[in-house]
Amino acid sequence: MPQFDAVLFDLDGTLLDTAPDFYAILAQMQRQRGQTPVLFEELRSCASDGTGAMLKLAFGSEISCEELEPLAQEFLTQYESAPVAQGELFPGIAELLRELESESVPWGIVTNKPRYLSERVLTDLNLSQRCAVLICPEDVSKSKPSPEGLLRAADQLALDARKCLYLGDHQRDIEAGRAAGMTTLACAFGYLKPGESAQDWRADHLVESSDALPDLIRELLA
């Protein structure tokens, strides 16, 4: 009998490596404006902070809201047209999802990514019909680190939140999971900032490499 009734994931930086697509768009925008693109690792470390943070990295932290808005629209328009042109599931994730499905353990996503983008990503990855529940900012009054989205996911699955496992690559994911009463797993392979340690998030479990996830989840489900 599995220890958990469901496994829930954050999306960007946990299930999906989105940074290559973010970087390709941002670098192109910078080149078009005669700028030298930022380093990929610089972009990757702030990918979880949203479009505004990435644009400020590229075009300066002092950029005004008036200047930022059209840049954000340009960025999102390009991203929406092909959100997984270069990015892909982290190594080991495809195997993990297949194993969960073979054990009849539902899996889902609770993300701060807007629904229209999240659904497009799942469609492009052929995961829409496999994902048991998708909770986005539009579904809640407060995004993570509020536990509202995780509790809503458990409710939609008709499961006790205490019997769910939540994986995330940001401190807010772990805080949300703990507040929801779920067991938490910190993914240190995600979009951490330089010098940041996932151990500081006080998750129940921690994994350094996505390749190690199938074996770890197998142990946790035993």
The crossing angle, in degrees rounded to 10, of helices 51-59 and 19-32 is: 40
**Do 99 and 214 touch, CB atoms closer than 8 A?**
yes
Residue with the two structure tokens 């074996």: 215
**Do 218 and 188 touch, CB atoms closer than 8 A?**
no
What Å distances lie between residue 91 and 11, 14, 65, CA to CA?
A: 14, 11, 37
Q: Is 160 a catalytic residue?
A: no
Distance CA 151, CA 6 (A): 12
Helix (H, G, I), strand (E, B) or coil at 141: coil
Q: Single out the catalytic residue among 5, 12, 21, 169.
A: 12
Q: How many CB atoms lie within 10 A of CB 74?
A: 15
Distance CA 134, CA 27 (A): 30
Q: Single out the catalytic residue among 10, 17, 21, 169.
A: 10
List residues bridging with 109 in a β-sheet. Answer: 9, 134
Stated as kind and residue range, the H or E segment containing 77 is helix 65-81
Q: Is 124 a catalytic residue?
A: no
Distance CA 66, CA 12 (A): 27
Distance CA 15, CA 169 (A): 9
Just list the catalytic residues: 10, 12
